[in-house]
Amino acid sequence: MAVTIQEVDHIARLAKLSFSEDEKEKFVEQFNQILTYMEKLNELDTSDVEPTYNVLALTNVMRPDEEKTWLSQEEALANAPRSNHGFFSVPKVIG
């Protein structure tokens, strides 16, 4: 399945990235090359194979629900591009 410019646009929207027309064309070319290579996996019949999402086969790891001191509000906000009254501050969400 070949990737098109429209699909690159769609994926960029999902990934919250934007690209110039030149970059998109390059993506189409490189994506198709890489995805063609990845289709190699279709040579394998995996209908009876379980996926491995984690090699340790861990399920839920529980811990006691206890209060602990972690970062102070000041420390947590120290790297924020903008903060206000102890909150992260961002541009308006609703137009």
| Site for another protein, rule CB under 8 A | 3, 7-8, 10-12, 14-19, 27, 30-31, 33-35, 37-38, 40-44, 46, 49-56, 58, 61, 63, 71, 75-76, 78-82, 88, 90-93, 95
- Cβ 5 to another protein shortest distance, Å: 13
Q: Which is nearer to another protein, 81 or 86 (CB)?
A: 81
Instruction: Compute the 3-state secondary structure of the chain and give helix, strand, coil in percent, each to the nearest 5.
Output: 40, 5, 55
d(CA 40, CA 13): 28
Contact 39, 2 (CB under 8 A): no
